[in-house]
């Protein structure tokens, strides 16, 4: 039995080579892999002994030779193939162990040059992997060091079954596909965010407790993107306490973390079922929590709380006996973490703020995928326009701009009531906007008096504004653009309400 070993990641290599040698396998290798095996005292030959040709072009060409690929690709069950190998003096290769040049690690370093990137594009490795994986009924292909021990065990027991070989082949093709995806990402023009063809690289982080419901399986995958290698968010979060995360925990946690981190001021967001039900900004983080919680204390139970500052003991104490599924923050004071860990069932995560660079929203539909840029329009690109007789006061304008940032984190049709940079009521996910206003008013109660309103899209009729005015709203911000804008503005004027148009909307489906 003959094997070619040529790996970039040398974890477990020596033990694997030693195990193969013990089983009588002839090992051939190249470059640094050859040197490492030889230094360990394991018998190894050079691939040049197979090809009869030295490595050329600074090692760019080592294994691209008929003696290598003929030995890998020949079908042992086809007599003509076996005869041709004999005629050409080629010996079959039975095992190929390869993992590829560290392209991702190279291009994600600071100040990497294009030439450095190009030199780390592996050619011979993927070619051998694809050849071995194509011929898996006859060749064992290994790309993952985690498979070294199982492969040795298979060989000790007489060889790998067809099913085992197929599993290894699938991993090899996937390994190459992820590699090619990374190269394509790097070479693509950053401005070409929606190219004609696109592949996405995903690597499983862990299985979730279950899917959206207990009868569904679920898992959490991290997107591998060389243009945004440290995206922050939950994909790189560290769990400090609590039971394993569920599918819904991650969805809601992502919504809460994005909402909290969308604000520069100290901010706390509370999310339930993908909707922000509590959100407040305040220089006093404990006060921000009190105001966020007061926005909807009933819905807060069993929700997710996200805090865009280091959690202090004062904040930890404020959470009291309220049950949260998850708490997310960039860090925790030691005494705060000690107190929070007394909540046995609450998961505590430490996460970095999400980076939106090269980040896309993706939504699965039957037979396809909808892809769009994230809703991250800079404030300076908005042209606010007061359209009513009365202009908003400075306090109203501050709350309107705060509400406009909040509303993009609420499911459409979305209405938020805001007072003193705190969400006091919201209506979400309704098929008509006026119902969302009624829901926001019901949630806010007396707190609606003197509050302002933000709407993620225009009011198609004046009824929404009239309902808001009846609840006590004094100012509103909405995109504008309805054919009935004049009627809506007239309703605001009739109720001495200030209204500002943004010219953009914040649909979230």
Supply the residues annotated as catalytic.
Answer: 134, 273
Which residues are bridge partners to 6 per DSSP?
98
Strands 238-241 and 45-46 come out as unpaired
Token digits for 202?
């995903």
CA–centroid distance for 87 within its chain: 53
C-alpha dist (Å) from residue 179 to 30, 59, 120, 174: 21, 20, 11, 9
122 neighbors 6 (Cβ within 8 angstroms): no
Give the span between the Cα atoms of 233 and 263, in whole angstroms: 15
CA dihedral of residues 322, 327, 330, 331 (deg, nearest 10): 60
Gyration radius from the chain CA atoms: 30
Residue with tokens 């008096």: 449
Burial letters for 60-81: b for 16+ Cβ neighbours within 10 Å, e otherwise?
Answer: eebbebebbbbbbbbeeeeeeb
Q: Which residue stretches of 161-310 are H helix? A: 162-187, 247-261, 285-295, 297-300
Give the span between the Cα atoms of 226 and 73, in whole angstroms: 33
Cβ count within 10 A of residue 329: 25
Handedness of CA 146, 151, 154, 156 (dihedral sign): negative
Burial letters for 409-435: b for 16+ Cβ neighbours within 10 Å, e otherwise?
Answer: bbbbbbbbbbbbbbbbbbbbbbeebbb
Residues with Cβ < 8 Å from 200, sequence gap 6 or more? 181, 223, 362
Strands 415-418 and 423-427 come out as antiparallel
């Amino acid at each position: 039995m003959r094997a070619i070993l040529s790996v970039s990641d040398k974890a477990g290599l020596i033990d694997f080579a030693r195990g193969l040698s013990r089983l009588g396998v002839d090992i051939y290798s190249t470059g640094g892999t050859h040197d490492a095996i030889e230094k360990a005292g394991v018998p190894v030959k050079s691939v040049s002994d197979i090809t009869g040709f030295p490595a050329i072009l600074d090692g760019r060409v080592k294994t691209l030779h008929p003696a290598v690929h003929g030995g890998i690709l020949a079908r042992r069950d086809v007599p003509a193939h076996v005869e041709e190998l004999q005629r050409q003096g080629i010996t079959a290769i039975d095992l190929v162990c390869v993992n590829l040049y560290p392209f991702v690690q190279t291009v994600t370093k600071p100040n990497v040059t294009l030439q450095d990137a190009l030199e780390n594009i592996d050619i011979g490795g993927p070619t051998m992997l694809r050849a071995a994986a194509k011929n898996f009924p006859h060749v064992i292909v290994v790309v993952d060091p985690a498979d070294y021990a199982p492969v040795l065990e298979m060989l000790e027991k007489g060889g790998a079954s067809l099913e085992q070989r197929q599993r290894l082949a699938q991993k090899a093709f996937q390994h190459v596909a992820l590699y090619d995806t990374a190269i394509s990402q790097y070479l693509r023009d950053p401005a070409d965010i929606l190219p004609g063809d696109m592949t996405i690289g995903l690597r499983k982080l862990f299985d979730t407790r279950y899917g959206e419901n207990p009868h569904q399986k679920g898992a959490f995958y991290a997107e591998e993107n060389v243009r945004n290698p440290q995206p922050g968010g939950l994909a790189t979060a560290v769990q400090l306490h609590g039971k394993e995360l569920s599918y819904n925990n991650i969805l809601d946690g992502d919504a809460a973390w994005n909402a909290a981190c969308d604000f520069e001021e100290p901010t706390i967001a509370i999310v339930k079922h993908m909707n922000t039900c509590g959100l407040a900004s305040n220089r006093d983080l404990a006060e921000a929590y009190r105001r966020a919680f007061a926005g909807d204390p009933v819905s807060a139970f069993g929700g997710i709380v996200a805090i865009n500052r280091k959690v202090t003991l004062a904040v930890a104490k404020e959470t009291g006996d309220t049950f949260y599924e998850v708490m997310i923050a960039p860090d925790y004071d030691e005494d705060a973490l000690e107190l929070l860990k007394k909540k046995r069932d609450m998961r505590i995560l430490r996460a970095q703020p999400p980076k939106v660079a090269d980040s896309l929203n993706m939504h699965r539909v039957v037979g396809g995928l909808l892809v769009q840029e994230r809703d991250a329009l800079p404030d300076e690109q908005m042209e606010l326009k007061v359209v009513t007789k009365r202009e908003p006061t400075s306090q109203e304008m501050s709350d309107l701009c705060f509400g406009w940032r909040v509303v993009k984190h609420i499911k459409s049709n979305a209405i938020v009531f805001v007072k003193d940079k705190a969400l006091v009521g919201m209506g979400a996910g309704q098929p008509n906007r006026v119902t969302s206003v009624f829901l926001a008013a019901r949630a806010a109660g007396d707190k609606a008096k003197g509050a302002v309103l933000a709407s993620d899209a225009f009011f198609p009729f004046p009824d929404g504004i009239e309902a808001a005015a009846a609840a006590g709203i004094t100012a509103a911000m909405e995109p504008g653009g309805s054919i009935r804008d004049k009627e809506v503005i007239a309703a605001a004027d009739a109720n001495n309400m200030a209204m500002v148009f943004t010219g953009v909307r914040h649909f979230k489906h």
